[in-house]
Every structure is written in C-alpha cells, then in structure tokens.
Amino acid sequence: MISTLRADGTIHSSVVNAGVMRHPLVEPPVLGFVTYGKVKLANLRARPQLTATFRSGWQWVAVEGYAELIGPDDPHAEIDAERLRLLLRQAFSAAGGRHDNWAEYDRVMVEQGRTLVLIEPRRIYGS
C-alpha cells in the first residue's frame, strides 16, 4: 500500500507492487515501483513524501521516504530512454513480477507513459 498526501492534506492510498532494488545512480538500495495515472503522480510531484506499508500475516512494516520520479513526464538528465526501459523491468522484477514477453511489456510501458518511483527509506518501522 502506498500512501501519498493530497493538496487538501488528506491521504490517498493505493495498492502497488513494490520491491527493493539498486538505485541507478547512487549506492544504497531503494524501494521501487512502476506507476502511471493522474492522482498518485500528481501528489508525488507536488508533495514527494510517501509511506509504503507491507503486510505478511500478522507482521507488517512501513517505509517512509521521498519519491524520486523518472519517466516520460519526469525526465532525469542521467537516465536515457534505454536505461529507463531497463529500470522499469528491474522494478517490475524486484516487486516479484515475471513476464513471458519483455518486448510487449516494454511497448505497454511506453504506451501508458509509466513512471519509475524510487524511495530512499528515511524511516522504517513495524511489528
């Protein structure tokens, strides 16, 4: 579950598939996921703080941090289109995803304007 902050101060939560992966430019591992659409990305562009919560049985962990966005509407000077293509695959795989046709996956990511979200953990807590 990813929770972001709306402009009115309320929380917007949604379910995503996320996983731990290497940051493409710095050393520490980060939490990464792939997303698209208006609400979550608009919230993160304006207010990048977020909380990701994971649950397994009765145990849970929350990760707080700030989102770094890399995608077609959020370009990064050091990440070209080919590198983004590979990073979207890496985030998908880190979240447990598998694909039988990576070319199709790549095509859909471009068509939908998918964005990579990276979170460097600032606070981790849970049970």
pLDDT in tens, the chain (127 residues): 999 999 999 999 999 999 999 999 988 899 999 999 889 999 999 999 999 999 999 999 999 999 999 999 999 999 999 999 999 999 999 999 999 999 999 999 999 999 999 999 999 999 9
Q: Which CATH superfamily is domain 2-126 in?
A: Electron Transport, Fmn-binding Protein; Chain A (2.30.110.10)
Phi, psi of 9 (to 5 degrees): 90, 0
Report CA 59 to chain centroid distance, whole Å.
22
Q: Give the Cα separation of 34 and 114 in Å (integer).
A: 6
How distant, in Å, are the alpha carbons of 11, 76, 101, 115 from that of 41? 14, 16, 27, 8
Please give the pLDDT value at position 101.
Answer: 96
- The structural domains of the chain, with segments of one domain joined by +, span 2-126
Q: Give the Cα separation of 104 and 93 in Å (integer).
A: 15
Please give the pLDDT value at position 38.
Answer: 85
Please give the pLDDT value at position 7.
Answer: 95
